[in-house]
Amino acid sequence: MQTERAYKYRFYPTPEQEILLARTFGCVRFVWNAVLRYRTDAFYEHKEKIGYNDASIFLTQLKKQPDTAFLAEVSSVPLQQCLRHQQTAFKHFFAKRANYPRFKSKKHRQSATFASSAFSYRNGEIALAKCKEPLNIRWSRELPSAPSTVTVSQDRAGRYFISCLCKVDAESLTITPKMVGIDLGLKDLFVTSDGRRVNNPRHTVRHARKLARAQRQLSRKQKGSNNRAKAKQKVARRHAKIADTRLDHLHKLTRQIVNENQVICAESLTVKNMIKNRSLAKAISDVGWGELVRQLDYKAAWAGRQFVQIDRWYPSSKRCHGCGFVVESLPLNVRTWDCPDCGTQGIDRDINAARNILQAGTALLAGAES
Ligand SMILES: [Zn+2]
């Protein structure tokens, strides 16, 4: 079986490439925002849904108008790709899987996607359309095949990255009889049915201290000064470092879970979102459940493992795994409880939940009524 896989590298643009990239990012952002505005207005004013083709016609008109003719100066491919991305974002929104798409700001991560017609891959080098020189990429590992698309981005710390989408043969792992249920949490990142507790990475605490110092320094600098710009960059670099560490940590964890288990069960994020309240929302986005689930999903698929997401509400915490009795209420601060029905004492809230999730997941797999 072949799957597509992304390979991400850092690269260092020449001053010339930097100008072209900044212009391309600017045009992509402009098109995203203009089309989003067009769609939003059409939806609110005429209850009309704008599809990909209408958006594409709208973009063609923009390029012809004198005040937005600058759009024709960059490769048309990333602009077209940006329409596709927005189409997908709306698809997720209408399927209630995501929030309404947001306007893009200059302050956030910038990106542009180039399909195969807009870049060349020759002698292990990548050159973008309208750029003579190939990109100076720091190849941390080899590409398995010629990429089908590449996405160029710049993070808030000013670093440039290129993500190459390549076809690879899926690595099927040897089948194991092991199965695991995962309860996503806040105090612990997750707890497994076999009793493993995984904390949120501790090392981010050290980074957080450095971030706080950088933020304090920034607040003392005068607005508009050169030193303020430098301090701002420093804060952005700290944020980037924390995000990198967190992502690294998640990759290691998901790799291990997928290697060790044939079947992995978790509650879907739709279910998790139902039980969250507003004060928990930030904590949830901080721990990165979405990224964890995303990684488990694709890594399991590559490895021939099964990742089961339980998509309807199930009393995983309040149900005694031993006898199936469901207690009426179980406040969040209660970490262990005793089952009034079968008399089991000291039931660990999270492990019990993870075991119920595993049971519900395997029942789903078997197609049985649960
Ligand atoms: Zn019981």
- Distance (Å) from CA 60 to ligand 1 centroid: 65
Closest CA to 355 of 197, 199, 194: 194
DSSP class of 331: -
In which residue are the tokens 């149900």 written? 319
Q: Which of 48, 133, 267, 297 is catalytic?
A: 267
What is the chain's length? 370
- Distance (Å) from CA 187 to ligand 1 centroid: 25
Closest CA to 115 of 157, 159, 156, 80: 80
Residue spans per domain, the chain: 2-169, 179-201+257-369
48 is catalytic: no
Q: What's the rounded Cα separation, in Å, for the pair 164 and 161?
A: 10
- Distance (Å) from CA 342 to ligand 1 centroid: 4
Which residues lie below 8 Å from residue 68, measured CB to CB, with a gap of 6+?
Answer: 30, 34, 62
- Distance (Å) from CA 325 to ligand 1 centroid: 5
Looking at beta carbons, which pairs linking 119-124 to residues 24 or more positions away fall under 8 Å?
Answer: 119/150, 121/146, 121/147
- Distance (Å) from CA 12 to ligand 1 centroid: 60
DSSP class of 340: T
Q: What per-residue confidence (pLDDT) applies to 278?
A: 53
Which residues lie below 8 Å from residue 245, measured CB to CB, with a gap of 6+?
Answer: 201, 203, 204, 207
What is the CB-side half-sphere exposure of residue 8 using CA atoms within 13 A? 8
Instruction: Provide the Cα torsion 138, 140, 144, 148; round to 10°.
Output: -40
pLDDT in tens, the chain (370 residues): 677 889 999 999 999 999 999 999 999 999 999 999 999 999 888 888 899 999 999 999 999 999 998 998 899 999 999 999 999 999 988 888 778 999 999 888 899 999 999 999 998 899 999 888 999 999 988 898 899 999 999 998 899 999 999 988 777 788 889 999 999 887 788 999 999 998 876 666 778 888 889 999 999 998 889 999 899 888 988 888 888 888 888 999 999 999 999 999 998 877 666 655 555 555 555 567 888 998 999 899 888 899 999 887 788 889 999 999 999 988 888 899 999 999 999 999 999 999 999 999 998 888 754 4
297 is catalytic: no
Q: Which of 48, 142, 183, 328 is catalytic?
A: 183
Indicate the pairing of strand 306-310 with strand 263-267: parallel
Contact 173, 259 (CB under 8 A): yes
Model's pTM, two decimal places? 0.71
State the maximum Cα–Cα separation within the chain, in Å, rounded to a whole number.
Answer: 78
169 is catalytic: no
